[in-house]
Copies of this chain bind each other. A is one copy, B any other.
Amino acid sequence: MTTDTTSRRGELLRIAARLFAEKGFKNTTVRDIADAAGILSGSLYHHFDSKESMVDEILSSFQDELFGRYDEVLSSDADARAKIDAAVRISFETIDSHGHEVAIFQNDADYLGGFDRFGYLAERNVQSRQVWMTLLTEGIESGALRRDLDIELVYRFIRDTVWVAVRWYRPGGELSHHDVADQYLTILLDGIAAG
C-alpha cells in the first residue's frame, strides 16, 4: 500500500470538508467520512481526536488564510473604491478556491459557535465587520460612496450577498469568479436601474 504518509491526513480532511459542506456538519457521520475514504470509522481516530477537531482544523486554517488577504487590502495604499473592489474580489476568489470551507462556515458557524473551542469564529465575525466598516467609512468620507445609506445595513448587504453565492457558484462552470465579481460590483456600486 503505502499511501503517501504526509498527505493521508490532508486527504482525509479534504474528504471530510466536502461532506461537511454538502450535508452539514451534524448531518455528516464519521462513518460517512470513513466510507468515502475507504476505511472503517474507528480508523479515523488514528488521525484525529474527534469529529470536531476535523472541522476545527478545516475552518481555522481557512480563516487564517482569508483574513491574511483582507489585511493586505486594508494596508494597501489604493483608494477606497479600489479597496472595496479588491475585498469583494477576494470573497469570490475564495468561494472559487475554498468553496467547501466557505459553505461550512456559512451553514454551521452558528452551531459550532456554541462550543468553546470555536470561539474564534465569533472573533472572526467581529474582525470581518471591522474590515468592512473601515472600508465603507473610508469610501463615504472620500466621497466615493453616497452618504444617505445606513452603513450597518450596507455592510450586512455586502457580507450576505458575497458569501451566499457559495450556494450556487460552481468552479469550472459557465461563469468564472471574475465574471461573477464584475457583475456583482456593477450592481452593488451602480444598481440595476437604467440611466
Contact = CB atoms under 8 A, between A and B. Distances in A.
A105 to B, nearest CB: 13
- Tell me if A's interface is mostly helix, strand, loop or mixed: helix
Nearest to A156: B168
Copies in the complex: 2
Interface string A132-154: 00000000000111111110011
A34 interface: no
A161 B164 CA distance: 8
Contact of A160 (B26, B164, B179): B164
A24 B27 CA distance: 10
A150 B195 CA distance: 17
Interface of A: 23-24, 26-27, 81, 107, 111, 143-150, 153-154, 156-157, 160-161, 164-165, 167-168, 175, 179-180, 183-184, 186-195
